[in-house]
Amino acid sequence: MRGWLAPHGRGHLWALIVGAWVLSVGVFFLLQVMPPRWRRPMIMLFTFLGGCFYSVEFFLPPNNFLTSYKEGFGNAWVVMGSFAMPLGVLNLSLVHVKKIATRSGSWGGSIVYFTAMAAMVTFCFWQQYWPKSKAGGQGFELLFQYAYMPLGATMFSILAFYIVSAAYRAFRISTAEAGLMAAAAFVVMLGQVPLGMWLTHGIPVESRWAGLRVEQIAHWILAGINMAAVRGVLFGAAVGSLAMALRIWLSLERGAYFDQKV
Amino acid sequence: MFERLQRIDRRAVYIVLFLLMVALLKWPLRLPMVVSSDARGFYEAVERTDPSKLVLVAADWDAGTMAENGTQTEAVLRHLMRLHRRFAIMGFAWPAGPELTDGIARRLAPEYDYEYGRDWVNFGFKPVLSISLMTLVKDIPGFYKKDAKNTPVAELPALEGVRDIHDVSLIAQFTSAATLGSYIAFVWGPFKTPIVHGCTAVIGPQQYPYLDARQIEGLLMGVRGSAEYEALIGRPGGGTEMMPAQSFAHLLIIVLIIVGNIGYLGARGWRQRKAGGAEGA
């Protein structure tokens, strides 16, 4: 079975792709038209079996009878993850189509969205499938190197301005706890930068007072107090994730059957 | 007056910050830089790598965090090239990460006589981190089959003798997202492959439990991490250049918080005195 699924030649590969696509659409269609009393146990069964695979494989001794199927399961997961991408594009496009059709809000931005997407997709495929074409490579370079990257960096760097403004307007030391938090924040902020290090650079690194250097106090706050708090949060989140995973695995989560509204 | 201290126009704050940044990036000051034990651990882990094995560089970042992750990656790639280590670039969190890292490698390559395919490869981006890692550790060439430019793995000399995670001496992960947990769970846990981590400053404090438990050998946090690594390899770069600007931005935040709170506490005291005076009358 696994040998047959490995593609032998271009024709076989295309047959497998089309076959998998038809099967997926068929299963999805079947689930849509199926009455809820059938749909529910079907989804429960597949969810449970899917969850069983990884847990049984993990808890059994290494290289057990399930291990050889891990790669196939992993690939299936990657394929399913990739489905999220066109789904996201589709959702976003629908929102923008609606905006343009009704001329609502900033519909000019929606036109920019479609133009940018079309340009990026075109040049991306162009340089990927016709690598010898200079125009494709240059177009992609222009969009990626000189538009996408600076835009991404700009978006993130704007945060610096908001953070400074928000810290000034919102950080009010109204209680002793807030005062403690402010003191810790000042020390950590100064300890992260050379200016803060310069403030206590007179204390030799090797001396018994080295622990009083700003960067040392900042490190102690991060690696001691902060670490203990983060570890506590992580433990709590892990227990919560386990409970959530169990609920999903056993199909106890609301809206897991396509027939309940979340 | 106290009310006014609390209501400085935000546009004035933006302009002061902008001018401060531009001036200090243009005319950087020389300030002392103390290297932390976290960065030193990272450096020593890279130094300890086995020359016969591969180093995996996980580029789980995007253009938005290039100032932090980009400079960290550049400093570490420079170190790897100086040590003549083979490395492979991969990414699971952001599609652009491996491309950006490959761009850095290509820029540094002539300086160290590095050649794509012979000394390093770019596997590109794959979605679904945890499942990808579970498959990758068992069979690296089987998982990737081809590099980002569709060259079969068998035709890439850099991957000669590389079968699974046992042929990897170090994973250097750079990220702007909380993705380290998956590497710990699926790589460090079962195989004890050494991991070093470079992250943005905002998620840095979350990584200390892993560092404390020795699940990661070293940590580079934000631009400071880049500057520390550049100091360790003796080659100042983007991180070192940005540190004075960041220093004064931090100072500006502290000054503004103090000013705002002088206004707040002063106004509160004044109101209390006024209320006390009214009651007394």
What number is the average pLDDT over the span A52-81? Answer: 82
* A-B contacts at Cβ under 8 angstroms: 165
Of A170, A201, A224, which residue constitutes the final position of a domain? Answer: A170
Residues B221, B204: contact at Cβ < 8 Å? yes
Q: How many domains does chain A fold into?
A: 3
Show Cβ contacts of residue A71 under 8 Å, excluding neighbours closer than 6 positions.
Answer: B135, B138, B139, B142, B143
Of all residues in chain A, what percent carry a pLDDT higher than 70? 94
| Ordered alpha helix ranges (H), A34-66 | 36-59
Alpha-carbon span B186 to B130, nearest angstrom: 7
A216 assigned to some structural domain:
yes
With respect to residue A70, please indicate whether it lies within any of the assigned structural domains: no
**Chain B nearest CA to A193, separation (Å):** 5
Q: Which two tokens stand for residue A107?
A: 């519909």
Q: Which has more confidence, A218 or A149?
A: A218
Nearest residue on chain B to A168, judged by CA atoms?
B257
Q: Band the pLDDT of A108: cuts 50, 70, 90.
A: very high
What pLDDT sits at residue A256?
54
B264 with A172: Cβ contact below 8 A: yes
Same-domain check for residues B253 and B119: no
- The answer on pLDDT for A254 being more than 70 is no
- Best CA proximity match to A72, nearest among B153, B163, B131: B131
**Is B25 near chain A, with CB under 8 Å?**
no
Q: B154 and B253, same structural domain? A: no
For residue A28, what pLDDT band results from cuts at 50, 70 and 90? confident
Please check whether residues B171 and B102 belong to one and the same domain: yes
Our CA-based measurement puts residue B103 at a distance from the nearest CA of chain A, in whole angstroms, of: 10
Tell me which chain B residues have a C-beta less than 8 angstroms from the C-beta of A197.
31-34
Scan for tokens 């403004």, then name that residue.
Answer: A165
The answer, for A262 touching chain B at a CB cutoff of 8 Å, is no
Among residues A170, A187, A218, the one where a domain terminates is A170
Distance CA B171, CA B193 (A): 7
User: Residue A121: inside a domain, yes or no?
Assistant: yes
Identify whether residues A153 and A193 lie together within a single domain: no
**A-contacting residues of B 65-104, CB under 8 Å?**
65-67, 96, 99-100, 103
pLDDT digits (tens, 9 = 90+) for B257-278: 999 999 999 988 888 888 877 7
Q: Which residue of A has its CA nearest to B200?
A: A156
The verdict on B271 and B153 lying in the same domain is: no
Instruction: Give residue B185's pLDDT.
Output: 92
Contacts of B125 (CB under 8 A, 6+ apart): B90, B91, B92, B94, B95, B96, B97, B98, B99, B148
B41 shares its domain with B179: yes
pLDDT given at position B118: 95
Which pLDDT belongs to residue A4?
A: 64
- Looking at residue A259, its pLDDT comes to 53
pLDDT band of residue B84 (cuts 50, 70, 90) is very high
Which residues of chain A lie closer than 8 angstroms to B21, CB-CB?
Answer: 160
Q: Give residue-wise pLDDT tens across range A200-217.
A: 989 998 889 999 999 999
Say whether B128 and A172 touch across the interface (CB within 8 A). Answer: no
What pLDDT, on the 0 to 100 scale, is given for residue B275? 84
Chain A residues 173-212 within an 8 A CB cutoff of chain B: 173-174, 182, 186, 189-190, 192-198, 201, 205
pLDDT of residue B124 exceeding 90: yes
Q: What pLDDT is attached to residue A2?
A: 57
- Is there a contact between B143 and A157 if contact means CB atoms under 8 Å apart? no
Q: Which residues of A touch B97 (CB under 8 A)?
A: none
CB contact under 8 A, A169 and B10: yes
Q: Looking at the structure, do residues A150 and A135 belong to the same domain, yes or no?
A: yes
Whether A231 maps to a domain, the answer reads yes
Residue in A with minimal Cα distance to B93:
A81
Contact residues, B window 140-159, toward A, CB-based 8 Å cutoff: 142-143, 149
**pTM, entire model:** 0.83
Tell whether A133 and A193 lie within a shared domain: no
Asked if residue A159 and residue A194 are part of one domain, the reply reads: no
Q: Identify the band that residue A77 occupies on the pLDDT scale cut at 50, 70 and 90.
A: confident
Question: Do B215 and B262 sit in the same domain of this protein?
Answer: no
Q: Do B244 and A195 touch (CB under 8 A)?
A: yes
Alpha carbons within 13 A on the beta-carbon side of B93: 20
**B202 plus B256 within the same structural domain:** no
Region B2-28 average pLDDT:
91
Give yes or no: residues B23 and B43 share one domain: no
The answer to whether residues A255 and A188 belong to one domain is: yes
Contacts of range B187-193, beta carbons closer than 8 Å, 24 or more positions apart: B187/B133, B187/B137, B188/B215, B188/B216, B190/B137, B191/B137, B191/B165, B191/B166, B193/B165, B193/B168
User: Does the beta carbon of B265 lie under 8 angstroms from any beta carbon of chain A?
Assistant: yes
Average pLDDT, integer, range B83-93: 96
Chain A CB within 8 Å of residue B225 CB:
no
Among chain A residues, the shortest Cα distance to B253 is held by A164
- Beta-carbon separation of A194 and B256 below 8 A: no
- CA B146 centroid distance within chain: 27
Sign of CA dihedral B77, B241, A186, A237: negative
Shortest distance, CA B250 to any CA of chain A (angstroms): 6
Return the residue in B14, B257, B265, B272 with the most chain A beta carbons within 10 A, the one to mutate for interface testing.
B257
* CATH code: domain of residue B79: 3.40.50.10160
Q: Are residues B92 and B11 in the same domain?
A: no
- Report pLDDT for A257: 54
Mean pLDDT in residue range B223-247? 95
pLDDT band for position A17 (cuts 50, 70, 90): confident
Q: Do A71 and B261 touch (CB under 8 A)?
A: no
Q: Is the pLDDT of residue B232 over 90?
A: yes
Least confident of A101-110, B169-178, B226-235: A101-110
Average pLDDT, chain A: 87
Contact (CB<8Å) A70/B138: yes
Contacts of A7 in chain B (CB under 8 A): none
CB contact under 8 A, B62 and A77: no
Q: What residues contact A78, with CB distance under 8 A and at least 6 apart?
A: B126, B127, B128, B131, B132
Do B138 and B260 lie in a common domain?
no
Q: Is the same domain home to B63 and B19?
A: no
Which residues constitute the domain of residue B255? Answer: 2-28+244-280
- Number of domains chain B is built from: 2
Convert the pLDDT of each residue in B135-190 to its tens digit: 899 889 988 989 998 899 999 999 999 999 999 999 999 999 889 999 999 999 99
A57-66: burial string, b at 16+ Cβ within 10 Å, e else: beeeeeeeee
ipTM of the complex: 0.86
A22 falls within a domain: yes
CB contact under 8 A, A194 and B257: no
Would you state the pLDDT for residue A262?
41
pLDDT at B195: 98
- Which domain covers residue A262, as residue numbers? 175-262
Are A153 and B32 an interchain contact pair (Cβ–Cβ within 8 Å)?
no
For B196, phi and psi rounded to 5 degrees? -120, 150
Give pLDDT tens digits for B191-227.
999 999 999 999 999 999 999 999 999 999 999 999 9
At A168-192, the pLDDT tens digits run: 999 999 999 999 999 999 999 999 9
Kindly state whether residue A43 falls inside one of the protein's structural domains. Answer: no
Which class for A95: exposed (0-12), middle (13-18), buried (19 or more C-beta within 10 A)? exposed
Q: Tell me whether A96 touches chain B (CB under 8 Å).
A: no
Which pLDDT band, with edges at 50, 70 and 90, does B279 fall under? low
Whether A258 has a pLDDT exceeding 60, the answer reads no
**Is the pLDDT at B64 greater than 50, yes or no?**
yes
Rounded mean pLDDT, A11-20: 88
B135 min Cα distance to partner chain A (Å): 6
